[in-house]
Amino acid sequence: MTTTMQAERLRAIVRRDLAVLRTYQLKIYVSFAQSIVFVFSFYFIGRFVGEPEALADLDGGYFEFALLGVIVTSVIALALREFSDNIATEQQGGTLEAVLVTPTPLWALLVGGAAVSVLITIVEVLLLVGLGFGLLGTAPSAGALLWSVPLLALTFVCFAAVGIAAAAAIVVVKRGDPLAGPISQLTGLVSGAYFPVAVLPGWLQPVSEIVPATHGLRGIRELTLEGAGPGAIVDDLSILLVMAVVLVPLGLASFGRAVASARRSGTLGTY
């Protein structure tokens, strides 16, 4: 299949999802409203907590610290659940087999199915940043926010690889993903999303270094809350890039093998 044909398949999947989304606009508004409530909740928690000694060196207080954790964990939750949710929806709607008997590449099915949700999440992140930093908190520089984008994007890609592997499991076992929730919660715990990693037990702190979110959060906080320059995030950015290079092929390979297995057994369209 030519590149043009692949791009057209991708656009067709995105157009379909946009058409479906237009019939559920209330869901978007509710999601945005929940984000606003979440920001104000952490703002008042921050006022209650004050300025903890562990965060004394940061530009801002607990609210700004936790707000970045909320943003990163929301992106992680999307990456973990979106691909498996889409595959489960395709199975239940009886469209998965119909799509895959056409020359639609697997990557187009995965990327196209997640594209609309990613766009909505980008809007939510901008809303969180605008409301949290622009109105309620201490605003970082525009440069710091821009340099945070590749860290956030690579964090998403790393967890998206795990989400794709979860989608592969659904193709085979025909059951909902039981791992996205626990993985997301454990990630929030060990990565220091809502409190510094330094407060974790000594034996648990090294574990945080193998979690992509730790490097994403650390780099973003150095840029936005510590006033560090781009040179300070080279190590974390490099680690995330290596993790993405390793994890993405593994995730895609697992999904490809799962689809091939389901085709051979004739269970691709069942759930």
Token couple for 29: 């508004």
Burial class, 59, CB count within 10 angstroms (exposed 0-12 / middle 13-18 / buried 19+):
middle
The residue with tokens 């946009």 is 18
Express each pLDDT in 210-266 by its tens digit.
999 999 999 999 999 888 888 999 999 999 999 999 999 999 999 889 888 877 777
Would you tell me how many other CB atoms lie within 10 Å of the CB of residue 206? Answer: 10
Nearest Cα neighbor of 106 from 188, 164, 192 is: 164
What is the tens place of the pLDDT at every residue in 131-144?
888 778 777 888 89
Q: 161: left (phi > 0), else alpha (psi -120 to 50), else beta? A: alpha
**Of 259 and 98, the one with more pLDDT:** 259
**pLDDT surpasses 70 at 271:** no
Determine the Cα–Cα distance for residues 204 and 21; give it in Å rounded to an integer: 42
CA atoms of 270 and 259, how far apart (whole Å): 12
Q: How far apart are the C-alpha atoms of 215 and 191, rounded to whole Å?
A: 8
| pLDDT(86) > 70 | yes
Tokens standing for residue 175: 């059951």
Cα radius of gyration (the chain): 20
What tokens does 178 get? 């039981």
pTM of the model: 0.88
Does 42 score more than 90 pLDDT? no
Determine whether 216 is exposed, middle or buried from the number of CB atoms within 10 Å of its CB (0-12, 13-18, 19+): buried
